[in-house]
Amino acid sequence: MSTPRLFLRLLVLIAPYRGWFAIAVLLGFATVGSSIGLIATSSYLIASAALMPSIAVLSIPIVGVRFFGIARALFRYAERYTAHTATFRLLAGMRGWFYETVEPLAPAGLIDQRGGDLLARAVGDVETLEQFYLRVLAPPLVALLAGLLACGLMLAFDLRLALMLLLLLGLAGLVVPLLVHVLSRRSAGASIAHRAALSTNLVEGVQALDDLLALGREDLLLARVREDSRRLAQAQEHLATVRGLGNGLVLLLSHLAALAMLLLAIPLVRNGELDGVYLALLALTALASFEAVTPLAVALQSLETSLAAARRIFAITDTPAQISNEPATSPEPQDYSLELRNVSFSYPGQSQNVLENLSLRIEAGQQLALIGPSGVGKSTLVQLILRFWEGWSGEILLGGVPLRAYRAEDVRQMIGVVAQHTHLFNGTIADNLRIARPMASQAELDEACRRAHLSDLINRLPNGYDTWIGEQGMKLSGGERQRLAIARALLKDAPILILDEPTAHLDQTTASDVVAALEELRQGRTTLTITHRHEHLASVERIVELYQARCGNDADHPTTKGAES
């Protein structure tokens, strides 16, 4: 994406907060203007007082010093408060926008993304855009207004003074930032990339810490983190060095400006064209005016890091959603049957179908099991029914209506899922249950847990439903986590139920307990059970076996067909 287009897209995101930012710019100008006024009046006051005039002559500059001194503090506070309030609101809005944009992409659109990298984009990259206003947009506007004010003040004394100050301000506000930009362009993008890599490896390493420790390979994670940290520190060190260079050059130009004002003004005093009492005012006012252009030394450097972060954010948000043609409303299903007619599907980038000409029908209220080894497309079929993937051929019908006629959200409301890997949040048992029904009453929670055979566990816990279960529910056993997932599905009370390997990683005794809880869940629902073994299927009315039909010796691309028993 080109830099101008990227810049415009960032401006569009800021547009809802433009009123706040406009006020902040005006307050920033008032702050710098008060600084210039304070320096000008105080220097004139000191120079005038040295001549010992009447106190009446000094009364106006004395009042000016007091006014500008107080005004500067008040304007600075108001400017910082307004700018940061607007920026924090912008960042909060951007995080919400990023999540709302990314959520419809899951899981199909994010299949190639790493969790740590997504976290880095949602948190670190969005936070980097704070610089876009505070260091990129506002400072040039404040500098322009303050520079015009300072040059106008010089123009009141002599045109040559105004032109010289304008030249030096131009060097500090344009040439120095361009030099800093050229020197830091590569490191600005590298710092964003290395920070993302560090975040990604840290997240993945922490998630896999148990396995790394068990295998004795924690040194592998440590080496990656150290290398990422070294590269990030190297990039940041280079950026800091360039920033220091830029600030040093602006400081040098500010003192040259004060010297230039003296060199131009002294001949005017000698020729009687200028009162000598204004010499200090001219030199110090020129020096004070550089307060406005000092932030510009690193403005383009901040712009580069902001654009690098924005590219990473928009690379995700611009990913086309799998569901591209959502209907405005969903039809009413005739019943809650499921039917597949010659369904074929292959993942993007693969030539061989995962599912090929698969046909089956589950009557409303019927229980059907799909059995087959790993890799034949059982879980893929579940994702198609849930409308996580598009692009299949053939027909999938829900209640006699083509699946694509429904809104994806409405399809998922009609289907409850208990998977082999159920995500549990780091919260209480009640929090995890109410994900299925946020307004569920305590009586409904009790009933769902009773039917899921979870009541005994909750009664044993000291805090009951308010017990924290840890990250991914790690304070619970595998069977307890599955029964919690079953209770959640009972609370959702969807008419169609999909059980995707719900006992795959459980021992025989625990699996039997979970199956007993599943019997409660299956009652009165259209149920599709996905499994790779025949155990615990006594109550299933129909069994369809999926197998792999291979072409020649190609064993990498299984084709799924069905055989009913």
> Given a cut of 60, is residue 152 above it in pLDDT?
yes
Q: Tell me how far the alpha carbon of residue 451 is from its chain's centroid.
A: 39
- Residue 559's Cβ-side half-sphere holds a number of Cα atoms within 13 Å equal to 12
User: Encoding tokens for residue 130?
Assistant: 């704070």
Token representation of residue 222: 């440590």
Contact 311, 1 (CB under 8 A): yes
- Any idea which residue has 């032109």 for tokens? 163
CA atoms of 249 and 254, how far apart (whole Å): 9
Residue 150 near residue 258, CB atoms below 8 Å? no
One-letter identity of residue 157: F
Cα–Cα dist 35/545, whole Å:
81
348 exposure class (CB count in 10 Å sphere: 0-12, 13-18, 19+): exposed
- Tokens representing 14 are 């800021």
**What tens digit of pLDDT does each residue of 255-298 get?**
999 999 999 999 999 988 888 888 999 999 999 999 889 888 88
Cis before residue 104, ω within 30 degrees of 0? no
Task: At 328, list the tokens.
Answer: 């405005």
Instruction: List, for residues 14-26, the tens digit of each pLDDT value.
Output: 888 888 889 999 9
CA distance 77 to 64: 20
User: For residue 326, which of 276, 282, 367, 387 has the smallest C-alpha distance?
Assistant: 387
Rounded distance, CA 170 to CA 164, Å?
10
Cα–Cα distance for residue pair 179/297, rounded to 1 Å? 9
Residue 181 CB contacts under 8 Å (≥ 6 apart), including other chains: 300, 301, 303, 304
State the Cα torsion 491-531-377-322 to the nearest 10°: 10
The confidence score (pLDDT) of residue 556 equals 37
Angle between helices 279-289 and 218-270 (to 10 degrees): 160
Domains of the chain in start order, with CATH, are 3-317 (1.20.1560.10), 338-564 (3.40.50.300)
Q: What are the tens digits of pLDDT across the range 71-97?
A: 999 999 999 999 888 888 888 888 888
10-19, 162-171, 398-407, 425-434: which has the highest mean pLDDT? 162-171
Helix (H, G, I), strand (E, B) or coil at 490: helix
CB 354 within 8 A of CB 346: yes
Report pLDDT digits (tens) over 421-462.
Answer: 778 888 888 888 888 888 888 898 888 888 888 888 888 888
Tens of pLDDT along 316-337?
A: 887 777 776 778 888 888 888 8
DSSP SS3 for 339: strand
Residue type, 251: L
Residue 160: burial class (beta carbons within 10 Å; 0-12, 13-18, 19+): middle
Residue 559 has pLDDT above 70, yes or no: no
Distance CA 498, CA 475 (A): 26
Question: Within 13 Å and on the Cβ side, how many CA atoms surround 388?
Answer: 17
Strand partners, 496: 415, 526
Highest mean pLDDT (candidates 39-48, 254-263, 365-374):
254-263
What are the angstrom distances between the C-alpha of 2 and each of 6, 8, 9, 98, 310?
6, 10, 11, 21, 12
Q: Which two tokens stand for residue 285?
A: 């006012």
In one letter, which amino acid is 72? R
Q: Which residues of 407-437 are buried (b: 16+ CB within 10 A; e: fewer)?
A: ebebbbebbbbbbbebebeebbbbebbbebb
pLDDT value for 150? 92
Secondary structure element (H or E) that encloses residue 14, with its range: helix 3-14
Q: What is the largest CA-CA distance in the chain?
A: 113
Helix (H) or strand (E) holding 395: strand 393-398
